[in-house]
Amino acid sequence: MSGCEACDAKKLVRSPSGLRMVPEHRSARSPFGLDEPPWVPDKECPRCMQCDTKFDFITRKHHCRRCGKCFCDKCCSKKVPLPRMCFVDPVRQCAECALISQKETEFYDKQLKVLMNGATFFVTLGTSDKSELMVCRLSNNQRYLVLDGDSHYEIEIIQISTVQILTEGFTPGEKDIHTYTSLLESQHITEGGNTRAIGMILQYKVPGSEELTQMKFTASEDFSCNKKLSASWLAAMHKATKLLYESRDQ
């Protein structure tokens, strides 16, 4: 286990929304996490914010744990897991938020495991013309990209500024960028179709420096199984980047 993966202590806390298992220190929280939203005060929502039904003694009001808005039971009846807010049990959410949370469940159930298991890439640092074969994986606490080969790197997720997923089928240039996400400037652009991901370019800050460091990942062509695994890892990283963008834009 690398130094970045020392066990982070957690604590069980109770909020108006339910029980949450959160890191003892905010600095140790997952970069994919979301803060609990403030609830719309009861006095400011005499009617359901979805169907406009008036609240009374029979029609009670409920708050969506993801957006904080106020709804009737019919419009806010689903209880869905919400791991991005560290809830222990499924929590009540409105129909729109429940759909989003259900889609995110796939990331936590499948793609997060793919990222943690890792994949093999040829890694090129900066403008160097030399590359090194390395295993890249997400740390167990979700806060670092760990690269192991003859060299060793630990890139803190919160220091990543841009992610570019490269795809095959295009000539080098602008069109080889399948997705470009600027995590500093709150821009998100997606290009390309259902092409296979073959690489990634990261730009990130090294602690103590204001300059951006670039690192390029290229999938190995040696074994088809490794290439498929690398493509799956890159697809999972694509999804992770979207969640990072949402968390930083909160």
Task: Please tell me whether residues 124 and 162 are part of one structural domain.
Answer: yes
Q: What is the pLDDT of residues 48-81, one digit of tens each?
A: 999 999 999 899 999 999 999 999 999 999 999 9
Domain presence at residue 226: yes
Tell me the HSE value of 74 on the side-chain side, using a 13 A CA sphere.
11
Domain presence at residue 48: yes
CA 127 to chain centroid = 28
Task: Please tell me whether residues 38 and 91 are part of one structural domain.
Answer: yes
Domain presence at residue 191: no
Q: What is the pLDDT of residues 125-153, one digit of tens each?
A: 988 889 999 999 999 999 999 999 999 99
Instruction: Report the candidate in 23, 31, 242 with the shortest Cα–Cα distance to residue 144.
Output: 31
Distances (CA, A) of 208 to 183, 205, 212: 19, 8, 11
DSSP string for 173-199:
SGGGEEEEEETTTTEEEE---SPPEEE
Task: Please tell me whether residues 105 and 129 are part of one structural domain.
Answer: no
Tell me the HSE value of 134 on the side-chain side, using a 13 A CA sphere.
23
pLDDT bin (cut points 50, 70, 90) of residue 223 is: low
Domain presence at residue 151: yes
CATH of the domain at 209: 2.30.29.160
Q: What is the pLDDT of residues 75-118, one digit of tens each?
A: 999 999 999 999 999 999 999 999 999 989 889 999 999 999 99
Task: Please tell me whether residues 101 and 136 are part of one structural domain.
Answer: no
| Under 8 Å between Cβ of 159 and 248 | no
Task: Please tell me whether residues 162 and 222 are part of one structural domain.
Answer: yes
Distance from C-alpha of 101 to C-alpha of 107, rounded to nearest angstrom: 10
Domain presence at residue 1: no
Tell me which residue range forms the domain holding 34: 10-114
CA 150 to chain centroid = 29
- Residue in the block written with tokens 């220190």: 25
Task: Please tell me whether residues 164 and 216 are part of one structural domain.
Answer: yes
Instruction: Report the candidate in 71, 92, 94, 69 with the shortest Cα–Cα distance to residue 81.
Output: 92
Task: Please tell me whether residues 126 and 146 are part of one structural domain.
Answer: yes
Task: Please tell me whether residues 219 and 123 are part of one structural domain.
Answer: yes
